[in-house]
Amino acid sequence: MFEEEALALQSQIGAFVRAFGLHQPDRTPCGEVVPVSEAHAIAELASHGALTQTELMARLRLEKSTVSRLVGQLMGRGWVQRGKRPGDARLVWLELSDDGRAAAAQLAAARAARFAALLDNIPAQQRPAVIDALSLLVQAATGPVAVSAASGAAGHE
């Protein structure tokens, strides 16, 4: 029974990833031609203000080298700039440039429209249950993971 449920969960998550467009790394699910990782990074900077690269790494749950490349790409687009804070010369802070704030606002608007359309396709009385289920799934995904040798291959999507 548990194995059947695990396979059903894997199947449904995979189907959602494809239906929502999460498998297309060069564009966001809302249709913007921006890599998903870049969209997440500028959303974090727009929401939380200036962050250190280490803070951004933790928020995005990415490796240090991946975030370094990501920051380089964002700087290349002119969306992010590095800066120092008075009294703290050791830390380098990342913050959105004016172009980065404009890009973040455009992505936020597209994201809001996409999620509103998605929500509109869910019956109103089921929306709280869907949101609760997703919250539970996030908690499960961020908690400790024990993968046995027998089930390890089944968990990859």
Higher-scoring residue by pLDDT: 42, 29: 42
In degrees and rounded to multiples of 5, residue 92 shows phi and psi of -105, 125
Interatomic CA distance for residues 129 and 146, integer angstroms: 27
pLDDT level of residue 87 (50, 70, 90 thresholds): confident
Q: What percent of the chain stands above pLDDT 90?
A: 68
Specify the 3-state DSSP secondary structure of 89: strand
CATH 1.10.260.40 fits 13-142, yes or no: no
* Helix (H) or strand (E) run with residue 82 in it: strand 80-85
In degrees and rounded to multiples of 5, residue 12 shows phi and psi of -70, -40
Sorted by where each begins, the domain ranges of the chain are 13-142
Pairing state of beta strands 80-85 and 88-96? antiparallel
Identify the pLDDT of residue 142. 86
Question: For the chain, how long is the longest CA-to-CA vector?
Answer: 59
- Long-range contacts (CB closer than 8 Å, 24 or more residues apart) made by 144-150: none
Interatomic CA distance for residues 41 and 137, integer angstroms: 22
pLDDT level of residue 145 (50, 70, 90 thresholds): low
